[in-house]
Amino acid sequence: MSAEQLGAAFDLLAAWQDEGVYFEHDGQGIATGPGVSVASSDVMAALADGPEGAVACGALPFSGGGSLVLADAQVRRTDPFVTARIGPATQPVLVTGLIPADAFLDAELTMAPSPAVYAGAVTEAARRVRAGDLRKVVLARTIEVGGRVFDPRRLAHRLRAVDPHAYTFIAPAAHGVLVGASPELLIARHGSEVRTNPLAGSAPRSGDPVVDRANAVRLIASAKDREEHAVVVEAVATVLEPLCVSLTWDPQPVIQETPNVWHLSTRFRGQLREPAPSALDIAVALHPTPAVGGAPTDAARAVLDQLEGFDRGSYAGPVGWVDVAGNGEWAIALRCALLDGARATLYAGAGIVGASDPDAEVDETDRKFRAFLDALRWG
């Protein structure tokens, strides 16, 4: 493929095309046009046989399997000062004239399950944790928004503006296009170095600085949230340690802020053993972490099948990219919506342990929905 150097100010989102993929974090990432769909299990072989500079990218289903896009036209920025167009040139499409639509009416929103049913599922899940059936499970719910036509590029533009440090993405998915801005890095691999940053345990932000800081202090001291977080850290370490010559992580969780939520965060960094697995291979090995599924994994999946009541599709699955050298970056597809013409399906979940309070978990998912519904008005 031919490569053309572009300026550092080039907007990656402008290079995204329908049926392609967009993935950006702190100004770096990739945007593509449509391409060949390749099963995730065949991706590394396809890249090895493909043209120089080829990248596979997209969103994989929560349940496993799935496919990624190998596109002819792409723009990549994996260094703040190096932006390259690889393959045929396309006309950039800039987002202009953004004006938010009216707030959504109750009649435009359909909750599934309802808050009451979700609270009942939380109650049952917490009971099973206390009974020793499992340590943690992450239960999600949805809101379907109808009656308006949504634009993936405009929605991604708004999500990126609200939180430029998030992993903002657009990717083809079953029954539509998945658009979101995830706070959570599943895995990044560059050469032999790997990084991951699991999040679990959260508290609301506040416009009052005193209340906001108090919420963060309560989160770091919360036994319930620290237990929820510890389950995730243990699982990530179990997967990564055999793959690494060295692996370090924060000895205690630290606070990570997003515009709407405080999170407990643990940062991992390691050096891979040779032969090093690809970023995609590591993402598949880690998924689903207890941050989005639960622990033990099989017991949590069984609870989700019984209590959640809907197909997650690519929600909470890996989203990102990998190249022929095995380098790449994968986030978890959170804070997202599946767009399908005049319908958008929003997802939000909460981690459930034995001490979880059903009303608090409904409130947590409501807060996540409210933040995304506000962004959706711009899409």
- Is the bond preceding 115 in cis, omega lying within 30 degrees of 0? no
Sign of the Cα torsion 141, 147, 153, 158 reads negative
β-pairing, 28-32 with 3-6?
unpaired
Active site residue 184: yes
Give the separation between CA 199 and CA 324, rounded to whole angstroms.
29
Active-site residue flag, 257: no
Residue 271 pairs with which residues in a beta bridge?
193, 246
Smallest Cα–Cα separation from 11: which of 156, 228, 218, 141? Answer: 156
List Cα–Cα distances, 285 to 152, 229, 325, in angstroms: 30, 19, 18
DSSP string, 22-50: EEEETTEEEEE--EEEEEGGGHHHHHHHS
Q: Which of 19, 144, 184, 227 is catalytic?
A: 184
Q: Which residues contact 340 (CB under 8 A, 6 or more apart)?
A: 175, 176, 177
Q: No. of H helices and E strands in the chain? A: 9, 24
Which one of 24, 136, 227, 308 is the catalytic residue? 136
CA dihedral (152, 157, 161, 167) positive or negative: positive
Alpha helices in 65-189 (DSSP H): 115-130, 152-162
The catalytic site residues sit at: 136, 184
